[in-house]
Every structure is written in C-alpha cells, then in structure tokens.
Structure 1
Amino acid sequence: MIVANLGAAAIAVLGLGEAGSLMARDLTRAGATVRGYDPDLHGDLSGIPLAASPAEAVRGAAVVLSVNWARVALDVARDALPHLRPGAIFADCNTAGPALKAELASLFAGGSAAFVDVAMMAPVPPLGIRVPMFLAGAGAERLAPILRRFGTPVDVVGPTAGDAAARKLTRSVFFKGMSAAIWEALEAARAAGVEEWLRADIARTLSEANAATLERIVEGTRRHARRRAHEMTDAAALLDQLGVPSTIARATAASLERVVAEQGASV
C-alpha cells in the first residue's frame, strides 16, 4: 500500500458495507484521517474511526466517498451537502445509471463542492481502495491524484457526470450477460450429462480469446443472425425439455431477431 499524507484533511466514507468498510480500512492504514458513517453498523468495522452522524463524518472532509445502494444515493448526497466544507469533493461510488449520476451532479451545480461520478471496475473485495476506477465530473481531475496516492488505478474519462457510469454499465451488459449465459449453459449441460465437457470447452474458448475473436463474434452476428436466432430457439426448447430455465437462450434469440429486423430495415 502506498502511504498518502493528506495532512489534517479528512476523508469521509459514507456507507460501511463490504466495499465501504474495506476502502475505509485501507485508507486508515495508509495514513489518511478517515471518518466512517453508516446508519446500520454491522460486520467487521475494526480499525475504522466512526462518526455519529453524516454531518459529523463529512464536516471538514476534503473528500467524501459515498459507497451505498443506488436507491439511497440521492438521500445520502442531500444529507451531506449542507455540511461540506468549501472546495470539498463528493464522489458517488454507487453502481447507478448516467441519469442518476447527472441528477446527483445537479445537486452540486453552482456550489463550491465538486461532484465526481465514480465507476469501480472490479469487485472491491479483496482489492479495497486499490480497485480500478473510472472518474467523471467536475471534480474528477482533482480526485484522481488523491486516489493515486493510495495506489488506486484511476482513469479520468471526462468532465460530464454519467460518463464513468456509462462505461461500467455497458461493460456490465457484456460481462454480467456472459456470466449469466455461462451459468444457464452449465445448468443445461448438467441436466444433459455433459457438464464436464462444456466446462472444459468454455475454459478453452476464454483462454484463446483475443481481439480477433471479438471481430469474429461481431461480424458473425451480423452475417448469421437469422440462422443463429433459429438455433437459439431450438436451444431454448431443449432447456425446456431438460427442465432448465431458458431465460438467456430466449433473450438471445429475441436479440438476434432484432438484429435481423434492423438489417432488413437498412437495406
């Protein structure tokens, strides 16, 4: 861990769940003055200085990290805003869409505190504060060097709140979608008695993937969408026969049919 000396400036961490507590503990161990707050304290919070209220946590802090559920992000920001010191940075680290990030940024428009849309691009455990992040928003350029002092891999993607969230969520379509497809495929393979073979085949395919693989996937989808849509309809029917939910298979067939329709409309 890279030790960072911010002097007397504090870092407030609002939300001490699994991710927030790891980040707060790493910051504390690295020499930062940390104040953590969560209305529902639970889990291992050892080594984290705790505040009695959001106001106490953020008062005088140079940086505020909000690590909460997206559904409470606005409430957390509104509670913190009146107590922020001039020039403070409020960084929303929640997984949320660009619209919510823009709404959060609007709370800070015209004030002295700067908002940052933070997208954490890997699971926080076990990386803690060293989780890779994309930053966007008015305070992104100021927050980046602070986080880098703690060993955080940071990329500033622009001044517009929501741009970091857009990167994270479009990647989520790929990565979480792939994960769900693998899960469903393995369920089906287990029911069909071929799970060991399919696991090995998936592992081989992933290990051999490169940039050319991506281009083949994109071009193959464009050229063969109609045939693949029929194939996935048959695959969904097989899953039905096996008693396995066919959510991903049916969604894939529908997505491919959309590609067929869009290509037909463009010619």
Structure 2
Amino acid sequence: MKIAFIGFGEAARAFASTLREEGSVTFSAFDILTAQGRDKPVREAAERLGAQVCKTPAEAVESADWVFSAVTAADSLDAGRSVAKLLKPGQVFIDINSVSGGRKVETAATVTTGGAAYLDMAVMAPVHPKGHRTPVLIAGPQVVELGRRLGLMGFDLQIVGEEIGAATTIKMLRSMFVKGLEAVTVQTLLAARAAGRFDEIYASLSTSFPGLGWPAFPKYLVERVTRHGVRRAAEMRESAVTMAELGFPAGHAMGLAVAALQQEVGELGLRLDETGDLEDLYDTVLDARAGTNERKPGEFKEDAA
C-alpha cells in the first residue's frame, strides 16, 4: 500500500510513525515548505520515517491508495484543488483538517470529480503518542467500507454518518467548548493579575469549580495556549464559521473572540513550564504582552497594589 501526505507536519508525521508498523506500507509526502525552499525539517522527518519527499502534489499522489490531507485550515481547500484533476477511481482522499463542515463539503466536491472517494476524518485527541491509532470520527458516502479498511490498519475510529461534514462538525463544536474554556480561563486570570485582584478571583473560581483541579488546571491551560495558540486560533476561526453555518451569529462572534485570544498569546513565542509557580506563569505572559521584563513576580498581588 502507498500512502501519500499533502502536508507533512505534526499530524502527518505522527500517522506515518505508527502506520509503518502495520506492514508493507510506503509513504510519499509533499509540503508547501518544499515549494518555498524551507523544507529542511520536512526532509529530516521524512528520512527518519522512510517517506519520499516530493517536489509537487502530483508527484506525491501518483499511484497512492490513500491521500491524507493534513495542512493548515486556511490551505485545506487549496490542497484539494492541487490534486483534484489527478485523483482516480480507487484512490481515497482522507481530509483530516480541522475545518468547518461547509469547507469539507466544498473540498469533497472538488476532489471526487475524477472518481476518487472522499472521507471526512476528525482527529479527536493529540496525535502523540498513538499516531494513527488516535481516536478519530469518520463520515462520508462510502464510510462503512472505508471504515472497515481503516480498521484493518489499526485506526481507532467511530463512524458518525454518511454526510460529509458530520465528523468535522462534531470536532468544531467540541473545540468551541475546549478551546473556549482555555481562552476564558487564561484571559480571566491575566486580567485578574493585571487588576491586582488575582487572589480573590482565584479563590472564587477554585471554590466554585473544585473539580477542575487547581492550580494545575490554569497552569496547564496557559502553557498550552502559549505553545499552541496560533494553531488553535486557526481551528477556532473554523469553529466560528461552523457556528455561522448553523445560524448562530453570537456563536460566530464568540469563536472569533476565542481565536483572537489564542492568536495573541500564541504569537508571544513563550515556552512555559507548567510545573512553575502559577502567578509567575501569568506574569510572564503579561510581561511578554507588554514588551518588558521589568515587572517582578507578585507585583499584582493585592498587598502590592
């Protein structure tokens, strides 16, 4: 079996790392960084995983049985268009991108014109360490047969219907809650720190919601947002589109607000240690946001206000 990847970032590499254990599988990969001449990390990963780096999408998908699209949300439709005229009957285009249901419907219409099959796949947990065995949802007109074949390769899958977009819609709505909770928590505690009322806000929240696990919960969230905020922001913009497609303008606005916070914090370029002091972690974000490191940890405590 030959598996092609359009986009060879974290998700694609994780899938390849475990799919290679399933028997006689060969890999090809195209990444936009190759076209931009910035593909050293791609080539190093491909060499490690035994994948052929291709100069064009056409070269990557030639004779491939499965074609995984694993690009950024903004590039998902273009990725489909780049191979649409090349895909033939018997090939399967598996779209794992975190985009709205409408985007996947549009992509499916593009890539199936030559007779290839399309599968909407939503990855529902971090891809490490399980790789392709990470839980996924799948949907599409041929979902039963494709699900059977994926299952034989070790995918941990759940079929959610034949309607394209069903799998990704579930993920997008879940992301609204999960990434929204991250954003609300981080934004609230940053503002509480800046206002000099961190102790009161923290005490109130930890008392009202003890099951969340304080202080580990807000430490973990701020580390995740600083590390992955830019990528999460792109996903949240698609969650916002999903809300608009479903007729919820307030949900659309909320999704964009969450995306803005994730983007802002993610672009700070911080790498935090979630085992550190809670107040120090949030001070570090405030310092970076203000463009200065002069503030000392604890400055915003009530007794220092």
- TM-score scaled by length of structure 1: 0.67
Shift of residue 28, structure 1, vs aligned partner: 2.1
- Match of residue 78, structure 1, among 75, 81, 84: 81
Shift of residue 115, structure 1, vs aligned partner: 0.8
Q: Does 1:47 align with 2:49?
A: yes
Amino acid at match of 1:97: S
Q: How does 1:107-256 map to 2 (within 5 A)?
A: 107-109=110-112, 111-190=114-193, 191-194=196-199, 197=203, 200-201=206-207, 204-206=210-212
Aligned to 2:102: 99
Q: 1:50 to 1:120 in 2, by over 3 A?
A: same
Equivalent residues of 2:84, 2:113 under 8 A apart: no
Output the CA distance in 2 between the equivalents of 1:206 and 1:146: 39
Give the root-mean-square deviation of aligned CA atoms.
2.6
Match of 2:89, SS state, is: coil
Aligned to 1:29: 21
Q: Does 1:15 align with 2:4?
A: no
Amino acid at match of 1:162: G
**1:205-228 C-alpha deviation (Å, 9 max, x unpaired):** 236xxxxxxxxxxxxxxxxxxxxx
Output the CA distance in 1 between the equivalents of 2:161 and 2:107: 16
Equivalent residues of 1:64, 1:89 under 8 A apart: yes
**1:166-207 C-alpha deviation (Å, 9 max, x unpaired):** 111111111111111221233245442427646754772236
Structure 1: 5+ residue stretches without partners:
1-8, 208-243, 246-267
Q: 1:160 to 1:179 in 2, by over 3 A?
A: same
Output the CA distance in 2 between the equivalents of 1:154 and 1:67: 17
Of 91-100 and 134-143, the range deviating more from structure 2: 134-143
- Match of residue 92, structure 2, among 89, 93, 98: 89
Output the CA distance in 1 between the equivalents of 2:151 and 2:207: 39
Of 94-103 and 109-118, the range deviating more from structure 2: 109-118
Equivalent residues of 1:65, 1:90 under 8 A apart: yes
Amino acid at match of 2:9: G
Of 43-52 and 69-78, the range deviating more from structure 2: 43-52
Q: 1:61 to 1:203 in 2, by over 3 A?
A: farther
- TM-score scaled by length of structure 2: 0.59
Q: Does 1:65 align with 2:68?
A: yes
Shift of residue 90, structure 1, vs aligned partner: 0.3
Equivalent residues of 1:186, 1:199 under 8 A apart: no
Output the CA distance in 2 between the equivalents of 1:122 and 1:164: 14
Amino acid at match of 1:204: P
Q: 1:199 to 1:24 in 2, by over 3 A?
A: farther
Match of 1:184, SS state, is: helix
Output the CA distance in 1 between the equivalents of 2:169 and 2:49: 34
Output the CA distance in 2 between the equivalents of 1:189 and 1:68: 37
Q: 1:203 to 1:131 in 2, by over 3 A?
A: farther
Match of 1:135, SS state, is: strand
Shift of residue 57, structure 1, vs aligned partner: 1.6
Output the CA distance in 2 between the equivalents of 1:201 and 1:107: 52
Equivalent residues of 1:73, 1:94 under 8 A apart: yes
Amino acid at match of 1:17: G
Equivalent residues of 1:119, 1:134 under 8 A apart: yes
Shift of residue 142, structure 1, vs aligned partner: 2.9
**Percent identity among equivalent residues?**
33
Output the CA distance in 1 between the equivalents of 2:198 and 2:146: 52
Number of residues paired by the alignment? 201
**1:53-91 C-alpha deviation (Å, 9 max, x unpaired):** 322221111111000012222222122223224221101
Output the CA distance in 2 between the equivalents of 1:152 and 1:74: 25
Equivalent residues of 2:125, 2:134 under 8 A apart: yes
Equivalent residues of 2:22, 2:154 under 8 A apart: no
Q: 1:198 to 1:21 in 2, by over 3 A?
A: farther
Structure 2: 5+ residue stretches without partners:
34-38, 214-284, 287-305
